[in-house]
Structure 1
Amino acid sequence: MAKRLIPTLNRVLVEKLVPPSKTAAGILLPEKSSKLNSGKVIAVGPGGRDVAGNHIPVAVKEGDEVLLPEYGGTQIKLGEKEYHLFRDEDILGTLHH
Structure 2
Amino acid sequence: MTLKPLGDRVLVKPAPKEEKTASGLYISSGAQEKPQRGKVVAVGAGKMNDKGERIVPDVKAGDEVYFGKYGGNEVKIDGEDYLLLRADDIYAIIED
- Bin the TM-score by the shorter chain: 0.7 to 0.9
Distance 1:56 1:30 in 2: 44
Find out whether 1:58 has 2:57 as its counterpart: yes
**What's the Cα RMSD here?**
2.3
| Contact 1:6-1:45 within 8 A present in 2 as well | yes
Partner of 1:45: 44
TM-score (norm 2): 0.81
The offset of 1:96, in angstroms, is 1.3
TM-score (norm 1): 0.81
| Contact 2:14-2:35 within 8 A present in 1 as well | no
| Contact 1:21-1:28 within 8 A present in 2 as well | no
| Alignment of structure 1 residues 1-97 onto 2, 5 Å | 3-18=1-16, 21=19, 28=24, 37-97=36-96
The offset of 1:64, in angstroms, is 0.2
Distance of aligned partners of 1:5 and 1:36 in 2 relative to their CA distance in 1, 3 Å threshold: closer
In structure 1, the gaps of 5 or more residues are none
Q: Which runs of 4+ in 1 moved over 6 A?
A: none
1:15-56: per-residue Cα shift (whole Å, max 9, x none)?
10125646xxxx726659xx8610100000011110111110
Distance 2:95 2:25 in 1: 23
Distance 1:51 1:21 in 2: 46
| Contact 1:74-1:86 within 8 A present in 2 as well | yes
Equivalent residue pairs, number: 90
Letter in 2 for 1:13: L
Distance of aligned partners of 1:51 and 1:29 in 2 relative to their CA distance in 1, 3 Å threshold: farther
Distance of aligned partners of 1:7 and 1:67 in 2 relative to their CA distance in 1, 3 Å threshold: same
